[in-house]
Each structure stands twice: as C-alpha cells, then as structure tokens.
C-alpha cells in the first residue's frame, strides 16, 4: 500500500496562513491525481482541492478558490496545500489522498484508495 503522511497543520488566527504537506512513499508521478479533503466536527469529509501530477489539471472547492493553492514537487514525492486568508470555517482535519486514474471524479472521496492520517487545522477569530 502507498503510504501518505500529511503534516503542517496548526493553530492560527483568522487571516493567517498555513502550508500543508503530504509525502508519499511512492513517486507521485504514478499517482496521477492527488487531493486534499477536510472534515469538520459533525460534518462529512469534503473535497478541498486536487491536482494531476503535472498540475495541468487542478480543481478547487468554491469555498477555498482564490485562497488555497495546490502544488506538487514530484522529485520529493510531496504535495502541498498553501492556505492563505484562513477563516474560522476552515477549521477541520485535513487529509491528503491519492489515486492512479484520472477517469473518476476528482471530488469523489470514495474513488481515492490512499489516504494520509490527517492533520488538524484550527483557525481562531
């Protein structure tokens, strides 16, 4: 199984920034789609952002578009999520995920076989 380790979470004030990282045990070029999901207390896990290995295809949830940016460093087998202008409603556990095929919906969490352990992001007002 592919191992994904996500990190970089923390506690910040509203308007602050965080950069999450997701390191994969396999080269990310074989993981055509990598994504970030998040889960707030009492809520379902929801899509945040995703990217193909070349970043030629990207997608963002409406709630984060313009504030979050996904990137990948395939030489380090690492994906990043730069989060700017954080809001209290961004508070959640953030999970990285990966899948080989791009021919399933990138927003569909059930299509991702590989997951990180999650990293907590807390934004205070």
pLDDT of residue 46: 97
In 3D space, the residue among 50, 64, 49 whose CA is nearest the CA of residue 99 turns out to be 50
**Mean pLDDT per 10-residue section of the chain, whose length is 125 residues:** 92 98 78 91 96 87 97 88 98 95 87 96 97
Listed in sequence order, the residues at least 6 apart from 42 whose beta carbon sits closer than 8 Å to its beta carbon are none
β-partners of residue 99 are 33
pLDDT of residue 29: 60
pLDDT of residue 27: 66
Cα separation, 82 vs 75, whole angstroms: 18
Q: Are 20 and 94 in contact (CB under 8 A)?
A: yes
Cα separation, 8 vs 73, whole angstroms: 16
């Amino acid at each position: 199984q592919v191992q994904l380790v996500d990190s970089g979470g923390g506690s910040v004030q509203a308007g602050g920034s965080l950069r999450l990282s997701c390191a994969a045990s396999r080269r990310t070029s074989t993981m055509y789609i990598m994504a970030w999901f998040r889960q707030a207390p009492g809520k379902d896990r929801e899509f945040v952002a995703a990217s193909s290995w070349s970043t030629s295809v990207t997608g963002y949830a409406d709630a984060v578009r313009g504030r979050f940016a996904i990137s990948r460093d395939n030489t380090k087998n690492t994906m990043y999520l730069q989060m700017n202008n954080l809001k209290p409603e961004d508070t959640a556990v953030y999970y990285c995920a990966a899948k080989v095929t791009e021919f399933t919906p990138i927003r569909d969490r059930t299509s991702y076989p590989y997951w990180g352990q999650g990293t907590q992001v807390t934004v205070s007002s």
